[in-house]
Structure 1
């Protein structure tokens, strides 16, 4: 059987990518003071037109898929968007690509003359370094939990004068959260193992990961809480013996890249060895998280993710 352990160096470098680098609230407030303006207006057609012109005058680049999806739902079209294999909303069909989220093309970015570049908080250090000296404001979104998605809608809605749309999106999320939590209230808490995988290796997702945060919100017990880990991050390595001893009720499998190849790797591992003796495997409580809905970080499909995970944990 393939050895399911990553060396410490891999853990540290991976955590550097996924762990947040700080809060984005103060920075976004500073941006609001410098670009576009966020003054309150009395309701009138003329002032509504001025708000729209203000919003449209802001040249924004969506540096990640998540930020592109946020802007789409807020009815904002950026001047540039991240390069990705994922299908983006149709409004981006003719929008110039600026390179991948982790390796954007500076020359392309500068050529688009953006006022603001929106990315993920996990990428703050590298993006700040890339854009240093180019007088491009930045906004970094935190995407670690369900609540972060609502906060991002609110913050972006305020910044781009799309508060009505943002408020409706937040209300929808609040309603889904309330209904879903009410449906599982009082049920026995399942012990859950979230396995984070690539075609080459597996790790365990803690409560500090997005998937782990959803398990916790739904009242599940993440079995990584029972492992003694010094300075745990979102994902930690494990031994076969540890997982066998933990023996979870439910196993969730999350793909980081190449979903089909990762699922094939999962299937091979779970078909033999200690995995087949786990209660979750024997009782058929092993679920693959749809990568279009369950990202490594939180996204605009958080409502669907919460509902689907509730069904997996409590059906």
Structure 2
């Protein structure tokens, strides 16, 4: 028994090395036991890997899983509280590559792993990278479950719900989820056609007139943005608004939809339900999906 414990301890103390999305090689003397995340999807991924207990700090927007509600908040990804992060003595900080905090934290001797999950392939890569960092075996199994859940949502969608031209508004910029984004890829698997082509990038800012000209069949939007849609010049003419083919998602549902992580299967089910209800003969009502 003692030999087994010593063997496990020795294995646990082995150095770990990962290469993040900046191309930076991050080396740690052992798998990190104290982790701070500055992106909600990264906290969700750590927990999906069964390692919630290692999180000592998360960003202010992290809401899931509920077991994290008492974990200290350290600001946002773009405006983290560096002093608070340092005080938590993390072994590593996980963040988006777009965060400006990486250089400051690295200068303070804190290891940083920066990633950018924008597509399904990115989400898979980030999951495997964190699995390697945390020394969690078979992280690929979790990805297979996510991918299968998206596929199941697509398979359950009735034929009449396929082929709709969709506008998915990420925020009131208006910024949209294009074909190249993880949201756009999920829509494509559901048989929807995105009005924002891949050439415009994953999450482009649109001229509101672009949407008027595109005249989508279905609009998907968060509850915080829905009321202002009809106030935009020309938008009252959109067929989706006139015919009630508008899906307004609650804040809780929105968090599921816009976070590129382990809940993408649930996001696919929410989008599929919207498409089914707004399809010809569906229960379109211009309200919640």
What does residue 197 of structure 2 align with?
225
Q: In structure 2, the residue corresponding to 1:71 is in which secondary structure?
A: helix
1:1-315 to structure 2, matched below 5 A, reads 24=21, 26-27=23-24, 30-31=25-26, 33-36=27-30, 55=31, 58-76=33-51, 77-84=53-60, 86-123=62-99, 126-164=100-138, 166-183=139-156, 188-198=162-172, 201-225=173-197, 232=201, 234-240=203-209, 242-253=210-221, 255=222, 259-260=223-224, 262-266=225-229, 268-269=230-231, 274-289=234-249, 290-295=253-258, 297-314=259-276, 315=279
> How many residues were matched structurally?
254
Q: In structure 1, the residue corresponding to 2:257 is in which secondary structure?
A: coil
Are the counterparts in 2 of residues 80 and 109 from structure 1 also a CA contact under 8 Å?
no
Give the alignment's TM-score, normalised by structure 2.
0.74
Query: How far apart, CA to CA, are the structure 1 residues paired with 2:22 and 2:176?
Result: 30
Distance 1:96 1:280, change over 3 A: closer
Q: Following TM superposition, by how much is the alpha carbon of 1:163 offset from its aligned partner in structure 2, in angstroms?
A: 1.8
Distance 1:153 1:224, change over 3 A: closer
Query: How far apart, CA to CA, are the structure 2 residues paired with 1:203 and 1:94?
Result: 32
Distance 1:96 1:75, change over 3 A: same
Distance 1:233 1:311, change over 3 A: closer
Distance 1:62 1:85, change over 3 A: closer
What does residue 3 of structure 2 align with?
none
Query: How far apart, CA to CA, are the structure 1 residues paired with 2:182 and 2:48?
Result: 21
Query: How far apart, CA to CA, are the structure 2 residues paired with 1:206 and 1:128?
Result: 28
**Unmatched segments (≥5 aa) in structure 2:** 1-18, 280-289
CA displacement, residues 215-243 of structure 1 (integer Å, 9 cap, x when unaligned):
233332222339xx8x6561222243x43
Distance 1:99 1:195, change over 3 A: closer
Give the alignment's TM-score, normalised by structure 1.
0.68
CA root-mean-square deviation: 3.1
Query: How far apart, CA to CA, are the structure 2 residues paired with 1:263 and 1:235?
Result: 19
Query: How far apart, CA to CA, are the structure 2 residues paired with 1:145 and 1:275?
Result: 29
CA displacement, residues 132-157 of structure 1 (integer Å, 9 cap, x when unaligned):
32222211232212333333222212
Query: How far apart, CA to CA, are the structure 1 residues paired with 2:178 and 2:44?
Result: 26
Query: How far apart, CA to CA, are the structure 2 residues paired with 1:151 and 1:232?
Result: 20
Are the counterparts in 2 of residues 203 and 238 from structure 1 also a CA contact under 8 Å?
no
